[in-house]
Amino acid sequence: MTKTKSLQSLGAMTLCVFVGLAAVGCKGVDKSRASKRTVKASIQAFDPNADIGFEFGDGGGGGEMPDDYEIRKAMDSSYGDLDGCVADYKSRKGIKAEKQLEGDLAISVKLNPKDSRPLGINASISSNHDRDEQLKTCLKQAVDKAPFPTYDGAPRIVDFSMELDPGSAYEEE
What is the C-alpha to C-alpha distance for residues 15 and 66, in angstroms, rounded to an integer?
26
What is the C-alpha to C-alpha distance for residues 129 and 15, in angstroms, rounded to an integer?
56
User: What pLDDT is recorded for position 15?
Assistant: 53
Q: What is the pLDDT of residues 68-99, one digit of tens each?
A: 999 999 999 999 999 999 999 999 999 999 99
Tell me which DSSP letter residue 62 carries.
Answer: -
Band of residue 166 on the pLDDT scale cut at 50, 70, 90: confident
Q: Which of 11-15, 82-86, 106-110 has the lowest mean pLDDT?
A: 11-15
Sign of CA dihedral 80, 145, 42, 122: negative
What is the C-alpha to C-alpha distance for residues 167 and 157, in angstroms, rounded to an integer?
28
What is the C-alpha to C-alpha distance for residues 64 and 54, in angstroms, rounded to an integer?
12
What is the C-alpha to C-alpha distance for residues 102 and 125, in angstroms, rounded to an integer?
9
What is the C-alpha to C-alpha distance for residues 111 and 155, in angstroms, rounded to an integer?
5
Q: Over 80: is that where the pLDDT of 2 sits?
A: no
Q: Over 70: is that where the pLDDT of 38 sits?
A: no
Alpha helix positions (H), the chain: 3-25, 68-76, 79-93, 133-144
Per-domain residue ranges of the chain? 64-92+104-165
Is the distance from CB of 71 to CB of 159 less than 8 angstroms?
no
CB atoms within 10 A of CB 150: 16
Among 77, 83, 87, smallest CA distance to 37 is for 77
User: What pLDDT is recorded for position 144?
Assistant: 95
Q: Over 80: is that where the pLDDT of 26 sits?
A: no
